[in-house]
Structure 1
Amino acid sequence: MNSKPQKLSVREKIGYSLGDLSANLVFQTLMTYLAYFYTDIYGLETGHASAIILTVGLVAAFGFNPIIGALADRTTSKWGKFRPWVLYTAVPLGVVALLAFSTPDFEYKGKVIYAVVTYSLLLLLYAANNLPYSALSGVITGDMGERNSLSAYRFVAVMLAQFFVQVFMLPIIESVGNGNKAVGIEIVMTWLAVIGTVMLIITFLTTKERVVPTPDQKSTLKEDLGDLFQNRPWIIMLVLTTLVFVTLAMKGGAYVYYFENYVDKESLTHFIQPIINGLESIGVNFFGENPVSAGFGLFNAGGIIFMIFGITLSKRFADRYGKRDVFMVALFLSTLFIVFFYFLAPRFVGLIFAAQIFHGFFYGLTIPLLWAMIADVADFSEWKTNRRATAIIFSAMMVGLKGGLSIGSALVTSILGAYGYISKEAMGGELVRQPESAVYGTKMLVSIYPAIPFLLGIGLLFLYEINKQMETQIEIDLKQRRIE
């Protein structure tokens, strides 16, 4: 295993992070709006939306990702293994992201077929782009401190994408569409496709692969898969990632329903008006006059701002206490504030916003650590087997991410359906007041239900053996081998 100098410039860290900013313009849109888009904009019934999200998502998670991981690990080019994938998928990913959120005027059966085809293509291209991009972080540097720093940079970028999508996107959709959300989302996705494509090209141009396998390293796909399933930290991270993204997709996809159907509109207007007035006084006027979209955006803004604070502190705690222990404690504290939502009445808007802020801060501490821990698992595998298969190791993250996104998003629409939610299609295209059972279901979807996967993930981490001491030992041993 050859290793070139491991220190990274700020330019390279920023360039690499733009890839995640681009990817998350797509991913955060899927997590926040896919269920809502299918039921309340595109007009699918909740059962059909659940089936599409779950079936296509699981096929993508367990079919596309392992294949892409194996192919990426076996790619040989003058640019390295992973950077070519980032370059060549940039334009197709942007085009298909736009198509997936378009609303062609088909009959209902045609709508279902179109949703299946476009969502399948989107997840395929997302895997072909984001899995090699994620694996790239494992070969840009082998230095644990630099890797933690790189993770912090990229997840500040993630938060910027999340901030735009969850804070400004719904008001902008309503504004540019003149109240027609179908038109608005197509316009917004067109711009996101162009911007995201440019960012991915910058990532390709500004990064370099430094951890390079020796020419005589040979392994078959069967050997790589065998290594994976004998690698307990990899299995734990696969399950943990799935659980984390089930929660994120569930509560993230439910918030828009929560604000439209549960939160008291009068109390919300009274609470956010001073904030909006203050923002308008300094020239920030994105929120319009709809209290639901404005409140939804400001609610997400508070959580994301404090997530960014958590991200900036994450490296300091991880360097001192180790990634695993920091992850466990922070995830537990963030879960407490998810559960707190259950006890909040519709008129307790201030407490609703406060719970989101505290949840955001503690969850932010975990965000860079999840991806850095997967890179550590790649090192652990090399340490044990003397072979490095970075992309297929990172396929655990992508399988978990896609599987969790699919399960969590499908749970949003299926649970709402079980509680009696009535979709736009069932209402003949009109939006009316939901039954009380459906309103209660939206509260459960942002409180009790999403807390369960987080708690299971915390229990799983007690079995994860790569603690601070082992991190240090692996880093020392691998550096010595690469020198030899």
Structure 2
Amino acid sequence: MGKKLKTKDIFGYTIGSIGDCASYNFVLSFFSFFMTTVAGVSPAVAGTIISVAIVWDAITDPIIGYVIDHSKNKHGKRRPWILRSLIPLGASIVLMFLNVDLPQTSKNIYYLILVLVFWTAYTAFNIPFYSFGAVITDVDSERVKLSAFREVLGYVGTFCASSVPTFIVGKMLDAGVSQEKSWFTVGILVAAIAVSTIFLMWKFTAGKESEEEVIETENINVRGFLKNILSLMKMKPYVLVILCALMTNVYMTLFNSSLLYYVTYNMGMGETQASYMFTAMTIVSIVFVPFVTKSVAVFSKNKVFVGCMAFSGIAMVLVKFTGIPNVIVGCIYVILVGVGTCAYWMCIFNFLYDVVDYDEFNRGKKRDGIIMSYYSFLLKLGGAAAAAVQGVLLSSSGFDASQSIQNPQALGMIEAMFTIIPGICVLIAGLVMAFTPLQDKRMNCLREALENKRIGKPYSTKGFEMLVAENGKEN
């Protein structure tokens, strides 16, 4: 596991990022907008539907993670779950962007059921996909390389989920096609992209999981599940990563879902102009990946992460007071925001893999499934809260989707949700990770000791003594 990865192995695993980001960002960015402006669902109800679904998704995360850690399937712990997710994931995306002719209450229930199916299927893929990164290699430099590939391909997925749909919808509307047909068409397109790339990831990762993992698996039981959850919340490094991710997800939920509102109502433009801004953010994030990768090698991922998040957070707060007068300034703004977003996705899973190694050294077994899934669980609580707050804030500000021109209070609220509120969240997320004890130098020493410990050789705790001492207090 300590050897260098071949490019085909890296690509075979990280191609799943296209499907991951395409499905996640498409639903996150446009489902609320579709329900309120196309399907005729009120903003408050739409916010409630999304919040309930994300809470449901969050609840299933640690359960699936625990089950994955204790799976005994001969094909591996993770890949069978990925395969099972494909059909419900693709079907739910398509049907969520279909404007059904039903009474309002029935329509609300229809969208609630479908979004529940979507998040369940997404979790069944997402948890084993990201936990796979902790077992495919334990070399930190190779994990950074995995993150770089995953980030670039992830932004390809984000491009397919943001710029492409808004561009296609804009062109179809210009050609006289209805909003209903336009959004249904892009729903089919995004579903096809997600399912096909996730299937390729499943295909290419055959045989990459350790057989010993399955042989050594313990039986599943409720007591063991609860014990695992409690032990995670006693790990200070893990709690810091969770707090960071929680604040970042609040930022991303508000920022991504407010962009189209801002372009439509505050700037008086449409989907085509929004696609330019989404494209600018995607391009800068891809271009910025090599810079982050090289900077991490020089300064450490913690310092790079904190610096990038501070940069983007300050930019977002300042724009609240300067405004965005045109598309060019809007593109510059999302580029500045993209710096922090890129650093987050480049670093966050490596922070979690550090926790996996830290935990394995002190507990004697790998728990990547439950660690990744409980992170996802708490992360989505932040997203659920943000979605609910967005719906309430829009309603309380007097937002009316039937009106092309909104009142000043509604415009001010949309602007705040697109700038200063997510900006403050980004600053807090960066500040939290400045205090993590899992610094790169200590973790390199720990991983060397862990490799020897796995094979029964003598090892030293020199260079990471404080991590062993802290874990002793926590467990």
Length-normalised TM-score, structure 1: 0.88
- The counterpart of 1:386, out of the listed 344, 353, 364, is 364
Given that 1:243 and 1:453 are in contact with CA atoms closer than 8 Å, whether structure 2 keeps it comes out as: yes
- For residue 211 of structure 1, report the CA deviation from its aligned partner: 9.1
Q: What is the CA–CA distance in structure 1 between the aligned matches of 2:182 and 2:13, rounded to whole Å?
A: 30
1:255 aligned to 2:251? no
- For the aligned residues, what is the CA RMSD? 2.0
Q: 1:232 to 1:29 in 2, by over 3 A?
A: same
1:114-150 CA-to-partner distances (Å, cap 9, x unmatched) read 1111111111111111111111111111111111111
> 2:381 aligns to what?
403
Q: 1:5 to 1:210 in 2, by over 3 A?
A: farther
The correspondence of residues 135-150 of structure 1 with structure 2, limited to 5 A, is: 135-150=131-146
Q: What is the CA–CA distance in structure 1 between the aligned matches of 2:442 and 2:287, rounded to whole Å?
A: 28
- The counterpart of 2:429, out of the listed 443, 450, 457, is 457
- The counterpart of 2:37, out of the listed 16, 29, 40, is 40
Q: Give the 3-state SS of the residue equivalent to 1:89 in structure 2.
A: helix
> 1:193 aligns to what?
191
Return the letter of the residue paired with 1:244: T
Bigger Cα displacement from structure 2, 337-346 vs 385-394:
337-346
> 1:446 aligns to what?
418
> 2:341 aligns to what?
363
> 1:84 aligns to what?
80
> 2:25 aligns to what?
28
After TM superposition, which residue ranges in structure 1, 4 or more long, deviate above 4 angstroms?
214-219
1:242 aligned to 2:246? yes
> 1:209 aligns to what?
209
- The counterpart of 2:392, out of the listed 414, 422, 425, is 414
- For residue 217 of structure 1, report the CA deviation from its aligned partner: 6.2
Q: What is the CA–CA distance in structure 2 between the aligned matches of 1:362 and 1:48, rounded to whole Å?
A: 31
Given that 1:344 and 1:352 are in contact with CA atoms closer than 8 Å, whether structure 2 keeps it comes out as: no
> 1:339 aligns to what?
317
1:11 aligned to 2:8? yes
1:81-120 CA-to-partner distances (Å, cap 9, x unmatched) read 1111111211221112212222211110011111111111
The correspondence of residues 45-444 of structure 1 with structure 2, limited to 5 A, is: 45-61=42-58, 63-176=59-172, 178-207=176-205, 208-210=208-210, 212-213=212-213, 215-216=215-216, 218=218, 220-263=224-267, 265=268, 292-423=270-401, 427=402, 431-444=403-416
Given that 1:73 and 1:390 are in contact with CA atoms closer than 8 Å, whether structure 2 keeps it comes out as: yes
- For residue 299 of structure 1, report the CA deviation from its aligned partner: 1.4
Q: 1:124 to 1:136 in 2, by over 3 A?
A: same
> 2:467 aligns to what?
none
Q: What is the CA–CA distance in structure 2 between the aligned matches of 1:345 and 1:463, rounded to whole Å?
A: 33
Q: What is the CA–CA distance in structure 2 between the aligned matches of 1:327 and 1:213, rounded to whole Å?
A: 32
Given that 1:25 and 1:161 are in contact with CA atoms closer than 8 Å, whether structure 2 keeps it comes out as: yes
Q: What is the CA–CA distance in structure 2 between the aligned matches of 1:97 and 1:349, rounded to whole Å?
A: 29
> 1:276 aligns to what?
none
Return the letter of the residue paired with 2:18: L
Q: What is the CA–CA distance in structure 2 between the aligned matches of 1:125 and 1:91, rounded to whole Å?
A: 8
Q: Give the 3-state SS of the residue equivalent to 2:365 in structure 1.
A: coil
Q: What is the CA–CA distance in structure 2 between the aligned matches of 1:349 and 1:174, rounded to whole Å?
A: 15
Q: What is the CA–CA distance in structure 2 between the aligned matches of 1:447 and 1:56, rounded to whole Å?
A: 26
Bigger Cα displacement from structure 2, 322-331 vs 338-347:
338-347
Given that 2:244 and 2:432 are in contact with CA atoms closer than 8 Å, whether structure 1 keeps it comes out as: yes
Q: What is the CA–CA distance in structure 2 between the aligned matches of 1:380 and 1:480, rounded to whole Å?
A: 14
Unaligned runs of 5+ in 1: 266-290
- For residue 350 of structure 1, report the CA deviation from its aligned partner: 3.4
Unaligned runs of 5+ in 2: 457-475
1:147-193 CA-to-partner distances (Å, cap 9, x unmatched) read 11111111111111112222121121244464422212212222322
> 2:464 aligns to what?
none
> 2:472 aligns to what?
none
Q: What is the CA–CA distance in structure 2 between the aligned matches of 1:363 and 1:92, rounded to whole Å?
A: 29
Q: What is the CA–CA distance in structure 2 between the aligned matches of 1:130 and 1:80, rounded to whole Å?
A: 16
